[in-house]
Amino acid sequence: MSSFDLPKLPASIPQNDRLSKVRAATVLARNLGHKYGPSLIGQASFYPNGTMGILRVQGDMALWSKDREEIDKRVGADVVAIQGAIMKNGGLKSMEDYGRVLYEGQWKNSNPLGTTGGIMTNYTQDLLFSMERLSLNPYPLRRVKSADKLPFQVPSGITEKLTGVSLKDLQSSGNLFIVDHIEQKRYEKTTVAPQRYGAACTAYFYIHPKTKDFLPLAIKTNVGADLIYTPMDSPKDWLLAKMMFNVNDFFHAQMLHLTISHDVSEGVHLAALKKLAPNHPVMLILERLMIQGYSSRTVGEQLCFNPGGHWDQLFLVNNVGCRQFVTEKWPVEGGYQFGYLETDLRNRGLIDNKGQSPFKSFPFFKDASIIRKAQFDFFSEFVNSYYPSEDVIAGDYELQSWFVEVTNGAKVFDFPQCGTSGRPCSRAVLTEVLTHFGFIVSAVHHALNGGDPIGSKATLPFHLNAMFAPVPTTKNVTDLLPFLPPAANAVHYIGFLATFNRPFYPSSNRTLKDAFNDSSLMSNLNKQTNTAATKFMASMEKLSSEIKSRKFDSNGLSLGMPFIYRTLDPAYIPFFSAV
């Protein structure tokens, strides 16, 4: 069954289904037909196997291929145009050329939105770099606890000069934050030409005790001479340090997105394919949210993480290193409830028990929590409409067995431990589970991947894919140009990022606001769910309008940042993990 081939039967829970015998036979056949096959791209969740599982993957690949054909056509046209522009310019001769020649008036077909305001012009600002941690990639950031052992000391006197207090004071007052990418030192590096280099940076950030601005304090490379850079270094040295950090940070963003959106959702959904009838209301919703969901890992194996493929050609850590990351992170970061938005942010010290953040502005949390709340509201209505009491949900033997299956069969970590007759899953638990499912395939996926990188978090020259000259062993660098990708590699890189963009989704009702805007789906669901779907859409349209209206204020800031945060626009991002 392909994702779009939804059953025509109205949704019903098993105990109300008049065709209970046919239904039981269908569930049994689906259980036998969907098997747990080996994980792809590292050891994470199982990948579909068995007669039905294989058909499922083929169907998802067929759907994905249509989009791929469309975006490839667009990228192809854009690459021709940009090659002409580079030739006309006589190559890329300065750092400024990377921002201008590679972007201005380019990528019109594959990224008609262009780059986001400020990201190309303000990248030397420290505030841009630090606020990216609270918007474009909030996942590796955490607050340093007062009892934590610090991984390094900032050279003497610098913290005091920048912040007015000592590093110890910053730490004990809860104003010190860290992003630690030192693990990337261990991951296998590419050997494909051109030779690439890079660090495995650890960075400190802080909330300024007086201004409350969130700013960078220091970056340690952890390789070679293991230099520690700070804003007190020369502007070129400090900029280079931030660019070295960006190489590591983008790797983290991309590999984590695979782990916490694709791998998690596939594991949970595969268990549902085995335990829920196709007309189970929960199955109908999961099918909608998993459109072409199983294409991504096959595509990844075939086109991205294949030995010598795009990844090895463009980045520093190679395809083997990518797999190492996924295998290591899956048992922890892949945990289901651990990933719930507020739980995750609270565990990392980015919000408190009341859901308040210590930052002047936390753009990712601002938009993500609105999306999550709308999803929660929708699923509350949905769950309560199909399960008017706890007894009814306890009596849904398909649903309860799915919960058990997610842990015992699909081996997804940290899924709610319920589903037995002694401990049935409640409506509240199901609501949270579905909310998180909807959230990871939309907000989480597109916070990190999809259309954002080409327009924001992966724009050259600041956001390097890899370094093309060795990590310096001394300071006082005079020229950053040698560290940047050669023109052909830069075009390949941007073109590669463009293939993840889906600019034609807003005109085909495939954005987040349209998650439940599908007449064939909604005609099979009850009235309350239809009403909730209308509310969901209105709420997402409201957020989209707000995001689209963002501008710089008189201080040149938007949400406290020198660039515009548009990443989670519900009228742009897909409601499913499209690629």
In terms of CB distance, is 407 or 449 closer to Fe ion?
449
Shortest Cβ 325–Fe ion spacing (Å): 15
In terms of CB distance, is 62 or 538 closer to Fe ion?
62
In terms of CB distance, is 449 or 558 closer to Fe ion?
449
Q: Are 491 and 107 in contact (CB under 8 A)?
A: no
Shortest Cβ 296–Fe ion spacing (Å): 5
Per DSSP, the residues of 442-489 read: IIIHHHHSTTHHHHTTT-TTTS-SSBSSPPPSSS-----GGGSPPHHH
Report the distance separating Cα 513 and Cα 451, nearest Å.
16
In terms of CB distance, is 23 or 257 closer to Fe ion?
257
In terms of CB distance, is 449 or 489 closer to Fe ion?
449
Asked if residue 449 binds Fe ion (CB under 5 A), the reply is yes
Shortest Cβ 46–Fe ion spacing (Å): 18
Shortest Cβ 299–Fe ion spacing (Å): 9
Q: How many residues does the chain have?
A: 579
Does an H or E element contain 176, and which? Answer: strand 176-180
DSSP state of 86: H
**How many other C-beta atoms can be found within 10 angstroms of the C-beta atom of residue 44?**
26
With contacts defined by CB under 5 A, name the span among 59-67, 267-275, 442-450, 531-539 that binds Fe ion: 442-450
Q: Are 322 and 41 in contact (CB under 8 A)?
A: yes
In terms of CB distance, is 99 or 293 closer to Fe ion?
293
DSSP state of 291: T
In terms of CB distance, is 171 or 449 closer to Fe ion?
449
Strand ranges inside 10-99, DSSP E: 35-37, 47-49
In terms of CB distance, is 143 or 310 closer to Fe ion?
310
In terms of CB distance, is 334 or 560 closer to Fe ion?
334
Shortest Cβ 78–Fe ion spacing (Å): 21
Shortest Cβ 451–Fe ion spacing (Å): 11
Does an H or E element contain 30, and which? Answer: helix 20-33
Report the distance separating Cα 512 and Cα 505, nearest Å.
10
In terms of CB distance, is 326 or 383 closer to Fe ion?
326
Structure token pair of residue 164: 């007015």
DSSP state of 558: B
Does an H or E element contain 67, and which? Answer: helix 50-88
In terms of CB distance, is 244 or 568 closer to Fe ion?
568
Structure token pair of residue 182: 């030192």
List CB contacts of 510: < 8 A, sequence separation 6 or more: 502, 574, 575, 576, 578
Which residue from 562, 442, 567, 453 is spatially nearest to 512, judged by alpha carbons?
442
In terms of CB distance, is 215 or 314 closer to Fe ion?
314
In terms of CB distance, is 40 or 128 closer to Fe ion?
40
φ, ψ (nearest 5 deg) of residue 449: -130, -155
Q: Are 275 and 27 in contact (CB under 8 A)?
A: yes
Instruction: Please state the separation of Cα 558 from the chain's center in Å.
Output: 22
Shortest Cβ 374–Fe ion spacing (Å): 22
Report the distance separating Cα 225 and Cα 173, nearest Å.
31
Shortest Cβ 212–Fe ion spacing (Å): 35
Shortest Cβ 120–Fe ion spacing (Å): 25
Shortest Cβ 371–Fe ion spacing (Å): 17
With contacts defined by CB under 5 A, name the span among 38-46, 177-185, 235-243, 446-454 that binds Fe ion: 446-454
Shortest Cβ 448–Fe ion spacing (Å): 8
Shortest Cβ 260–Fe ion spacing (Å): 11
With contacts defined by CB under 5 A, name the span among 144-152, 269-277, 444-452, 551-559 that binds Fe ion: 444-452
Site string for Fe ion, 6-25 (x = CB under 5 A): --------------------
With contacts defined by CB under 5 A, name the span among 138-146, 164-172, 215-223, 445-453 that binds Fe ion: 445-453
Q: Are 120 and 99 in contact (CB under 8 A)?
A: yes
Site for Fe ion in 321-360 (CB under 5 A): none
Shortest Cβ 445–Fe ion spacing (Å): 6
Asked if residue 254 binds Fe ion (CB under 5 A), the reply is no
Classified as helix, coil or strand, 514 is: helix
Shortest Cβ 305–Fe ion spacing (Å): 12
Report the distance separating Cα 61 and Cα 296, nearest Å.
8
Report the distance separating Cα 432 and Cα 434, nearest Å.
6
List CB contacts of 168: < 8 A, sequence separation 6 or more: none
Report the distance separating Cα 3 and Cα 276, nearest Å.
15
Verify cis geometry, omega within 30 degrees of 0, for the bond prior to 574. Answer: no
With contacts defined by CB under 5 A, name the span among 119-127, 298-306, 327-335, 447-455 that binds Fe ion: 447-455
Does an H or E element contain 142, and which? Answer: strand 142-143
In terms of CB distance, is 31 or 259 closer to Fe ion?
259
**How many other C-beta atoms can be found within 10 angstroms of the C-beta atom of residue 513?**
24
In terms of CB distance, is 165 or 256 closer to Fe ion?
256
Residue 10, CB-side half-sphere exposure with 13 Å CA sphere: 9
# residues near Fe ion by CB under 5 A: 1
Asked if residue 431 binds Fe ion (CB under 5 A), the reply is no
Report the distance separating Cα 476 and Cα 499, nearest Å.
38
Which residue has the closest beta carbon to Fe ion?
Answer: 449
Site for Fe ion in 514-543 (CB under 5 A): none
Shortest Cβ 412–Fe ion spacing (Å): 18
- Binding region for Fe ion (CB under 5 A): 449
